[in-house]
Amino acid sequence: MRIDPQSPADLSAQIAQAIRDAIISGRLIVNQRLPSEAELADQFQVSRPTVREALKRLAAQSLIRTQRGASGGAFVNRLNFEDLYSQQITTSTLLLSMNAVSFDTACEARYALERACAPLSAQRRTADHLATMRAEIFRQSQPGLTDEAFCASDVAFHRALVDGAGNPVLSYQLAGAVEAMQPLMNMITFTARSREEIIALHSDIADALEARDAGTVDAVLVKLELYTRQLAQDVAERKRKPA
Amino acid sequence: MRIDPQSPADLSAQIAQAIRDAIISGRLIVNQRLPSEAELADQFQVSRPTVREALKRLAAQSLIRTQRGASGGAFVNRLNFEDLYSQQITTSTLLLSMNAVSFDTACEARYALERACAPLSAQRRTADHLATMRAEIFRQSQPGLTDEAFCASDVAFHRALVDGAGNPVLSYQLAGAVEAMQPLMNMITFTARSREEIIALHSDIADALEARDAGTVDAVLVKLELYTRQLAQDVAERKRKPA
DNA sequence: GACTTTTAAATGTCAGACAAATAAAAAGTC
DNA sequence: GACTTTTTATTTGTCTGACATTTAAAAGTC
């Protein structure tokens, strides 16, 4: 692992990249301890604060974890989906809030992904997944529910659908898409409440999944997508020309 | 923006989270300049190195960029897909190489996502996308091509298919899945060369996309998935019992 | 007015120090 | 000897203060 002191890039960025490469290439393996900060500083011929900045960069990507104390140090982290979920959600939320992608584009991607999960979920969903979905549908039909709680339940419902596919990669990919849209969906439900319709569609999905009927699930998801995008469009128009 | 000095978490992590929250909530908007490191240190009542570690964490996630010199500083970054692609690829590659997910699971997710793009791509692909795909097919059929180059071309082909959907979110999600599998696919093609079959399937896809026939694209992708997973399984078995 | 020089502000880097946590080793106790 | 307590060494977390480097704007010069 070497760096180029003449490079215009920050030393800490170079060091982070060098260590990252070592992890990706397998020269550093999971749970292996990196040299101490002092040793790394010596090795790269930089000061300890510079090394620390590099390590913080890697920690931000969950590539390493650090422990204090004797026999502490920085260790190569085994990536787990928990960490990745939250990062994915943060990224997706920002993409939407910064207008880097339109709601329509995000919505299309979200339902495309969800429909990709549907056949797998119809095939593999367990009784647990079904029970979760039924429970969320029941919660959604409670009259006193706040809009926020309804949206959270909506997210949980779709989460169960996706998890039913039994593929953590798909779950991870969709976590961002679904959760990132919650704030915007919230805004929509505030103005255009139509819970009955959504609940009915959710019930259709649960029924179809119970019957392992992938085709129907897909069809209902298409309906739900159209409905969502229509609502978003209505809200957008109402905003442009407020009565 | 406040932090809790009593919290067990690192101060730099807390500060990073506080700034991250401010960006997500919209209190800090794109291209807005953050206070200087000295001001932030004063505001959070910590030292400048601690602030710097926090900023490096955010920089690692592409949330901010820094400029040196007068009127320099840290600025809220508009997320762009270029940055996100490479992060996604790094993450996906590590997930695979660390055995956090099996090749089979990754493969299933990858083709599920790709099939989700197929109908959109059949509808929206431009002549450009088709030309790219044809060019890659032609390259793949050149006899002198190395295995690495064949794989790279394979990636480029599928990239064009996905990009044809015209949805950057889907492209971004798939970038990781497809590119991360390249090294492993490489390994497979080394042992079980069967380029003709793959090229034939690629041609079928291009033809179907030209005819805007989503159903056929989907069917061919299913074939390709089965073929890929069969190959992977064969290689795995051969490894377990090496003749 | 156009060009050059100076200046100030900001990040990048360094050195050295101390605090706090932690595990291992050492000492003490029964 | 086995267990508990204390000590110690190691390592990260944080601070202070300093200097180098970059850069844009201000000042100066022709």
Residue A233 token pair: 């469009």
* Domain boundaries B11-76, corresponding CATH code: 1.10.10.10
Tell which residue, A74, A53, A180, has the closest CA to residue B16: A53
A98 contacts chain B (CB < 8 A): yes
Domain boundaries along the sequence of chain B: 11-76, 81-240
Neighbour count for residue A240 (Cβ, 10 Å): 7
Give me the residue from A60, A87, A109 closest to B169, CB to CB. A109
Residue nearest to nucleotide C23 (CA to C1'): A70
Residue numbers of B between 167 and 196 with CB closer than 8 Å to A: 167-170, 173, 177
Closest chain A residue to B117 measured between Cα atoms? A112
Residue B79 token pair: 């997320």
Residue A30 to residue B98, Cβ atoms within 8 A: yes
Residue A53 to residue B56, Cβ atoms within 8 A: yes
Domain A81-240 fold: Four Helix Bundle (Hemerythrin (Met), subunit A) (1.20.120)
Cα B190 to Cα A67: distance, rounded to the nearest angstrom: 42
Q: Look up the pTM and report it.
A: 0.87
B72: nearest nucleotide, CA–C1' criterion: C10
- Per-residue pLDDT tens listing for chain A (243 residues): 778 877 778 999 999 999 999 999 899 999 999 999 999 999 999 999 999 999 999 999 999 999 999 888 999 999 988 888 889 999 998 888 888 888 889 999 999 999 999 999 999 999 999 999 999 999 999 988 888 888 889 999 999 999 999 999 999 888 888 888 887 777 776 666 678 889 999 999 999 999 999 999 999 999 999 998 888 888 777 777 765
Residue B166 DSSP symbol:
-
CA distance B242 to chain A (A): 24
Tell which residue, B2, B242, B219, B1, has the closest CA to residue B115: B219
